[in-house]
A and B are shown apart, each in its own frame.
Chain A
């Protein structure tokens, strides 16, 4: 039973992070390798705002949320916008570089020591007893709920039909989309803002649950495996992919070898790339008429 709870919690983490990758990929074909660092930055924002608004946790959270939206927009407007129209590889490398830059800046501003935003906020993280004797921490439970909320919100927004199609169109042929009246800058900025928000929520919750330090980037990196497994431009895929990868990881740690935790997502990824490179629900992208 505890295993199932662990799987659900881990899938929630992966799903929240994975939808950030999906949003940006869907709209611009770019794999945002800085997603982990942006999530981490969001968590540090929470820590700072918690220290600033002592005794006012709700304000602190609200400020942190607004900041994380701003980060996404800023990263797009200042840096990624210059890369529109360039090769996708160059854009991906730019995100890698942004990730490195952010990591360095974070250490410079906040130092590499572990922070505990939970205490700063004045909350506590009790362990809740569930049926079957399994335990889940309050923050982890909140994570699962937030994942459902975020995904619900995204589905509602994209189910408004036209803009979902337009986001995909912008991803496939940005030039043509612009020629057909789609404001590319606005759509990209929106995608980056939403991605940063969802990533930051994930980062904040992870930080609340288990402390905040540099290891969050690793989780961010591992999370793109579920995004790929499900199909990089499909939200449903991200959800399902997270479930599969989380299940594989938890079971492997439990039954085989705890050291496998960092490798398992990539093994699942390799398997999926061999069998079905575009993932479970992704759009097939091999059309290549000369």
Chain B
């Protein structure tokens, strides 16, 4: 699979008719890639994901300008289940599982594309292979799972939907590093075996750049930097503001005060 799967052009998203959260961003995701969307709180990353998957309406937000194209078709402001049918599936940041259903029921509930029972069963078996821990927890109530298990379940139920493009919002939030490592490895496996393209939104640049092929950095609703993962990892600004080290030397806090002036990407 090659070619551009997702193309966003000059996207603008406005909340409650008065707050512009995303101010004209342009990005592209090639098929088979893992692309990372980085940035601090409030940069507009989650909003972008929601715009792609069609979930703006519930927060009284709209795409007011620009386009989002998936495999050539325009999809902005379409209802969410339509996007899921197209193969765009979102793993949200909060409320990612059905809290009062068992793990097994959580995997039964999704309506995958091309719903045939046999296919659905096969997908379920598949995800139990990817996440054997879930197999042990089949009758556990969703709300009682630990953070890592819940994230696994969320990913699993997303995969049951047969996505072509998987959107992951804040994978590492609230999870121990060793759990995150484990999840990242599985994501790479999933990409390799199922050929799913992944767009991952992360505050933790370390985590994201570990598995991404390409990355975009957002700030205040704009994309300020983009490049291959290798380039981003070695970019001094990224290192200073996101990865926490200026080529390993010790820092004095007095120096940090100057960070606003020394950021190079507003020039």
Contact = CB atoms under 8 A, between A and B. Distances in A.
Contacts of A162: 108-109
Interface string B153-173: 000011011000000000000
A283 B105 CA distance: 14
Given A162-B108, A168-B100, 14 more contacts: A161-B108, A165-B105, A168-B98, A172-B100, A178-B79, A178-B80, A178-B84, A180-B110, A181-B110, A181-B111, A182-B109, A182-B110, A183-B81, A283-B100
Interface string B131-164: 0000000000101100000000000011011000
B92 interface: yes
Interface residues of B, number: 34
B99 interface: yes
A162 B116 CA distance: 12
B101 interface: yes
Contacts of A109: none
A179 B109 contact: no
B23 interface: no
Contacts of B113: 181
Given A168-B101, A287-B100, A289-B143, A182 B95 contact: no
B67 interface: no
Contacts of A287: 99-100, 141, 143-144
Interface in B89-136: 89-90, 92, 95-101, 105-106, 108-113
Contacts of B141: 287
Contacts, number: 85
A169 interface: yes
B105 to A, nearest CB: 5
A179 to B, nearest CB: 5
Interface stretch (B53-61, B69-77, B175-183, B194-202): B53-61
Nearest to B99: A287
Contacts of B79: 178
B115 to A, nearest CB: 8
Contact of A169 (B58, B96, B109, B161): B109
A176 interface: yes
Given A165-B105, A182-B111, A176 B81 contact: no
8 contacts: A172-B98, A173-B95, A175-B95, A179-B55, A179-B80, A181-B81, A285-B100, A287-B143
Given A161-B108, A169-B109, A284 B100 contact: yes
Interface in A180-225: 180-184
A177 interface: yes
B51 to A, nearest CB: 14
A132 interface: no
B111 A176 contact: no
A177 B100 contact: no
Given A85-B58, A181-B161, A175 B92 contact: yes
A175 B106 CA distance: 14
A27 to B, nearest CB: 13
A134 B118 CA distance: 54
Contacts of A166: 109, 111
A245 B35 CA distance: 59
B191 interface: no
Nearest to A289: B143
Contacts of B112: 181
Contacts of B85: 181
Contacts of A176: 92, 95-98
Contact of A165 (B92, B97, B101): B101
A184 to B, nearest CB: 7
A166 B106 CA distance: 9
Contacts of B99: 172-173, 287
Contacts of B108: 161-162, 165
Interface centre among B89, B95, B109 (most CB of A within 10 A): B109
Nearest to B84: A181
Q: Which A-B residue pairs are the 9 nearest by beta carbons?
A: A181-B111, A180-B110, A287-B143, A85-B58, A169-B109, A181-B84, A178-B80, A283-B100, A169-B98
Contact of A180 (B57, B95, B143, B157): B157
Contacts of B90: 179
B96 A180 contact: no
Nearest to B110: A180
A243 to B, nearest CB: 26
Contact of B98 (A84, A173, A181, A184): A173
B81 A182 contact: yes
B101 A179 contact: no
B81 A172 contact: no
B73 to A, nearest CB: 18
A287 B143 CA distance: 7
A86 to B, nearest CB: 9
B222 to A, nearest CB: 27
Contacts of B157: 180
A225 to B, nearest CB: 23
Nearest to B144: A287
